[in-house]
Amino acid sequence: MRRPSYDNPTTRTSVLAAARGGADAPDAAHARFFDLYAPFVFGVARARGLQPADADEVVQLVMLELLRDGGLASYDRAKGPFRPWLSRLVAWRAEDVRRRADAAPAPLPDESLDALADLRPGAAPADAAAAAEESAWREAAFDEAVRRLRAELPPAHFAAFQASVLEGLPAEAAMRAGGVSRDNLYQIRRRVKPRFDALLAEALRDLDAPAAP
């Protein structure tokens, strides 16, 4: 089961406004940066045992820190990839949120974490954290690749591909979703799958090469 994509319009709007000094209209570069990295931040915070509301607070703290002027200045690519640097920042802010909650015990993970890490008894904490980070990173790239693919395809073709390939539904359900014939569905799958794979690889590269908004 895939982790649900992070989608909190209220948080997104408030963070973008705060990052721009209260400006109402979101800057496109700021908005794209938020949309790229907020799902990863949320996923890692959840994998560390935070409830959704607390993980959302971590998203706000981290995104504000990164989006305000000079927020990325402390990241030096020469010292290592972006993902571990961002993960450490998320860990620090998650601990801040946990401390503000009077060090309440972390709740048991719910099923939405199944896709993030193996948190069964006996799993090594370090291994579980690494698995959660890797999964959340790939999920963020997957969501971004889906967004890019949606922008390229006719709505009917995207709906058919999403139902058939991304959601794994039977052919009949995918045909109904896109309003296409069986032959059209086959052609869409054959043509679009390589493009989606390329977009996923592209999204993974872009995530690890942050541009200051």
The answer to whether residue 74 sits within a structural domain is: yes
Helix/strand/coil percentages in the chain, nearest 5? 70, 0, 30
* Cβ contact 150:142 at 8 Å: no
- pLDDT for 88-110, tens place per residue? 999 999 999 988 875 555 554 44
* Structure-model confidence comparison of residues 158 and 127, the more confident one: 158
pLDDT at 111 over 80: no
For residue 67, being part of any structural domain is answered with yes
Q: With respect to residue 170, please indicate whether it lies within any of the assigned structural domains.
A: no
Is the predicted pLDDT of residue 128 greater than 90, yes or no?
no
Domain span at 62: 9-152
Is the overall model pTM greater than 0.95, yes or no? no
Residue 30 lies in a domain: yes
Q: How many domains does the chain have?
A: 1
pLDDT of residue 93: 93
Could you read off the pLDDT of 142-201 as tens digits, one per residue?
A: 999 999 999 999 999 999 999 999 999 999 999 999 999 999 999 999 999 999 999 999
Q: Is residue 80 part of a domain?
A: yes
